[in-house]
Amino acid sequence: MPPLFPPIPGTYRPSKRPRLTHGCDESVVRMTELSSSRSRLHSEPRRRPAGLSAQGAGIREKRTCTFPCLIAVLILTVLPSLAWPQALPPEQKQQDDSYTIGVNVDEVVLHATVQNRKGALVSGLSEKAFHVYEDGVLQQIQYFSHEDIPVTVGLVIDNSGSMAPKRADVIAAALAFARSSNPQDQMFVVNFNEKVSFALPDNMPFTDNVVQLEAALSRIHTTGETALYDAVAAALEHLKQGNRDKKVLIVISDGGDNASHQTMDQIRAMARRFDAIIYTVGIFDEGDGDQNPHVLEQLAKDTGGEDFLPKSLNELLPVCEQIARDIRNQYTIAYIPSNRKRDGTYRTIRVEADAKGHGRLVVRTRAGYYAPPQTQPSPPAAKVTQR
């Protein structure tokens, strides 16, 4: 699971070892016995102001040596004990790095939407308002932001025969989504009936151009059956090619699956393994025996998205604009699991938020994730950056 991220605030970076600017080699004073009871310097005499006695010069020479030497000894003995212990030994530091943001996928990144009891988006919350639980255990948040970051987004559009009278409204709604999105978003289109195809040209995996997007949406005629699961699987795989930190799918369909090689259980497991948010829009006809709104609802719930069931085609365009606003107003939260076992198990996630003056808040994010298995080598982290 993009960094998957900005460095953890407060990370200690040991300073360089101080360099000594005063040495004793040039100040060594050699004393010797003279015939008289008084001591003199036998080193090469140094220049001194007129009127200063040889004895006075010797005293000054001794002080010049003594103080730098004492300072040097103190620096070499005391300073390391004060500053350097915080620097970890190589073996220990290497072990801790595997749980540092931007170093290993053991960090979990969440994109959370917060709504009040009326369903309105809530912005402006601080990190202190959030509480993250993994398998019921409170986790420590390592990274937090609330910014409109670009996303890689796939529009997965049903082109089965029953969609023919709805095509114009679907295209208008999809274009409204594109115009309401971040200008730096990477977009692609998956058209499907009983077959799945990518609508953009082969040499163009993504686009941020509305004209190209409209051409892609209009390229295939509506006919045939519905391979919904296969289309979602293909779109999830295509998201890997995107270089935006947040990945999103918007699935628009009017019926259940009747032509896929994949099964519902397989596609749900696949969606859980991908760090992608799936929004679904079901535009069902009354009396349609193929409709299966539970499928769309479950895909959205598993991944932290939302499912919509507009009552008429007139509601389709506002729904897509609402999805765009939802994506652009999410909070990004990252934590390092307290359970560091690599056992391949599924771990549930719950995020809560509370803030004065907002009443009861509902947080929507993905339901969980699979821990990496013990035998699997650690892939590079997905970093949390703003472009």
CATH fold label, 151-328: Rossmann fold (3.40.50)
State how far the Cα of 212 lies from the Cα of 320, in Å rounded to an integer. 19
Burial class (CB in 10 A: 0-12, 13-18, 19+), 215: middle
pLDDT tens-digit readout, 28-70: 333 333 333 443 434 444 444 444 333 333 333 444 445 555 5
pLDDT tens-digit readout, 87-132: 333 333 333 333 223 334 579 999 999 999 999 999 999 999 999 9
Contact indicator for 115, 360 with CB cutoff of 8 Å: no
Residue type, 135: D
pTM above 0.85, yes or no: no
Distances (CA, A) of 94 to 97, 99, 103, 241, 342: 5, 10, 11, 30, 17
User: Rounded to an integer, what is the distance from CA 183 to the centroid of its chain?
Assistant: 20
pLDDT tens-digit readout, 121-155: 999 999 999 999 999 999 999 999 999 999 999 99
Residue of higher predicted confidence among 90 and 157: 157
Residues 6 or more apart in contact with residue 147 via CB below 8 angstroms: 332, 386
Residues 6 or more apart in contact with residue 181 via CB below 8 angstroms: 151, 153, 187, 324, 327, 328
Task: Tell which residue, 318, 60, 279, has the closest CA to residue 154.
Answer: 279
Q: Give the pLDDT mean for 170-190.
A: 94
Worst-scoring range by mean pLDDT, 102-111, 278-287, 363-372? 102-111
State how far the Cα of 338 lies from the Cα of 371, in Å rounded to an integer. 12
Contact indicator for 157, 316 with CB cutoff of 8 Å: no
User: Rounded to an integer, what is the distance from CA 128 to the centroid of its chain?
Assistant: 19
Distances (CA, A) of 336 to 1, 58, 95, 104, 138: 12, 64, 14, 10, 11
The dihedral over CA atoms of 37, 41, 42, 48, expressed in degrees to the nearest 10, equals -140
Contact indicator for 241, 212 with CB cutoff of 8 Å: no
Q: 3-class SS at 352?
A: strand
State how far the Cα of 212 lies from the Cα of 136, in Å rounded to an integer. 46
Q: Packing angle between helix 316-328 and helix 167-180, nearest 10 degrees? A: 30
In DSSP notation, 277-295 reads: EEEEEE-PPTT-TT--HHH
Query: 299: number of CA atoms within 13 Å, CB side?
Result: 31
pLDDT tens-digit readout, 221-243: 788 899 999 999 999 999 999 99
Token pair recorded at residue 102: 């931007």
Contact indicator for 208, 387 with CB cutoff of 8 Å: no
- Please tell me the predicted confidence (pLDDT) of residue 218: 83
- DSSP state, 378? P
Residue type, 310: P
